[in-house]
Structures are given as structure tokens and as C-alpha cells.
Structure 1
């Protein structure tokens, strides 16, 4: 079975798409982002999907987008922050070259601002972010072959760390 060369998971704002693009350039392939797939298919931003149709509907769209991307894409794949909540998605990721890009709340404040229009961070964003990560960190870790901390690193440094972790540096 063919699969993506790298799958990136982690919280919103950690840089999955940015790092994914860098990895794709370095590995001579393409990068695909399942959040972008959903936005394109739905013709509206994710925040609008949450508000208009609810989180449950969005999660169903997300699970379907991940299934399709894992079946079709052979390059670098960046998954939405909550995609690992779906048990079937976690099963599909088993055995794949998944890297969890991690960051702490201080880094999240710098990157996301925690006051931006993120649907899951609308009320008390610092507390919400901590609670999301308490629930999600074990799931990210469960599916990951490697964990790369991103605090204080440039996207280029993170891409290097991912390549090192998956032993793809000289690929």
C-alpha cells in the first residue's frame, strides 16, 4: 500500500502547513492540507462551518477528507488539529510516518495569539487551548512515530528535525 511520505499532526497554529510545504520542497514532492481540502470542497471557511453546521458536522467532513487524502496523496500531508479525535482516523494512521509537531501554551500565544477567530478558542482562549491539548496530546502521541517540539525554532529548523526524526535527511 502506498502512503504519504510524511504526515504532520499537532495543534492549530503549530505550523503543520508551513513545515509541510518546506518538507515537500526538500523531498521533491507536494504538500496537501486536509483543512484546505475541506475549505475548497465546502466553499467557505472552517469557522463558518462550525458556526453554521456545528462541530459534529465539521468533524465528519474532516474524517472524510483525511480518508481521501491518505488514500490519494503520496507527498507530505498536514492534518487538521482535531483530526486525531476520530478513532477511525487514528487507525488509518497506524504504521504511517506520522510526526506530532508539539508546542506549549506560551508558544501558542505567540503563534496563534489565542485571540483570533478560531472557533474552538472563542471563550477564554488560554484555558481552552490548555484543555484541548490535555485531551489531544495523548492522541497525537498515540499516532506519532516521532514528536518534534517547535518552541523557539524556525519552520526550517522544524523541517530539519522532522527529516532527522524520520531518517529522511539524505533521502
Structure 2
């Protein structure tokens, strides 16, 4: 895979609880490049939390903001980029991601529930975390796979091991 235009060194995608933000921060430190998270970009842009955007304006409004934030970040950022778990729902975003090196941090249901269930800032997982995460993954897994250059199954790995594996993949393919 070759990057056809400037942009991030690598983009991390995956479901809630996969470790995208944590791994992206660690990876950016190891590579000596900047880190960016599109959920944080959205929060900075609107001046409130992602959860508040969902509650006050609905998911459709959030997805529009997210699509715009991802497009900006892919165009501007040259470090490690973490996308929100639902960013791949946008066909336009998936099309843009085809031009970039993307690592899908995959996580099974049990590990995902354990990790994501403790975070109350995940609006789509409120209530029955296990059932909601399963439905999310059933719907999104094919989309993550569609955009992925590489996949790392994170279930039994800690953040350091996932970072090591991602770094190895990047160094093997210096696109």
C-alpha cells in the first residue's frame, strides 16, 4: 500500500474499547510525530463533549461533524491519527481512507465489554453494554475490514504490545 498524498503516518480505527487513543498516543511518541484524535477535534470545534453533542443534537448531527473532522485531519495531520469508532460508517470517509495506511485495532466482544463498559462517555453503549457493543461490531466489522491495511487483534495484548506490533507493521511498509 502506498500513500498517494501527504497525510498521517498511520490511521487507527476500531470499535470502542480497542485502544485507539491509547495506542495512537504511544505510537506517536515512539515515532516522534504528533498525535491527533478526531473525537477531540470535534469537542474543540463545538466546545462540548461528544456525549453532549449526541444528547443535544443527535447522532446524525454528530456524524456530519465527524465526517468533516476526519476529512480535515486526513488532509492536515502528518502524525498518528485515531478516528472515533463510528467514523467508518461514512462512505465518504471510507473512500478517503483508501489513500492512507490504516490499522484496524480489532477487539472481541468479551474484551471490548470489559474495556468499554467502564467508560460512561460512550453514548452509543449506554444501557446494555454487551448487547450494544455486539450490535455495533456486527454492523461495523466489515467496514473496518474494508478500510484496513492491517489488522491487530488486541484481546490478549496490552497497549505496549499493540503499539509494538503497529510499529513493526509501519516499519515493514514505509509507505
| Alignment TM class, shorter chain as reference | over 0.9
Report the equivalent of 1:73.
77
How many Å separate the matches in 2 of 1:29 and 1:117? Answer: 27
What is the TM-score with the length of structure 1 in the denominator? Answer: 0.94
Report the equivalent of 2:129.
125
Superposed displacement of residue 109, structure 1: 2.0
Q: After superposition, where does 1:37-76 map in structure 2 within 5 Å?
A: 37-76=41-80
Alignment pair present for 1:148 and 2:155: no
8 Å Cα contact 1:14-1:101 kept in structure 2: yes
Give ranges in structure 1 of 5+ residues lacking alignment. none
Residue from 3, 13, 27 that aligns with 1:9: 13
Alignment pair present for 1:138 and 2:142: yes
Displaced runs of 4+ in structure 1, greater than 4 A? none
Alignment pair present for 1:86 and 2:127: no
Change (3 A) 1:116 1:98: same
Aligned-residue CA RMSD (Å):
1.8
8 Å Cα contact 1:30-1:75 kept in structure 2: yes
Give ranges in structure 2 of 5+ residues lacking alignment. none
Superposed displacement of residue 154, structure 1: 1.3
Superposed displacement of residue 114, structure 1: 6.0
Residue from 115, 120, 141 that aligns with 1:116: 120
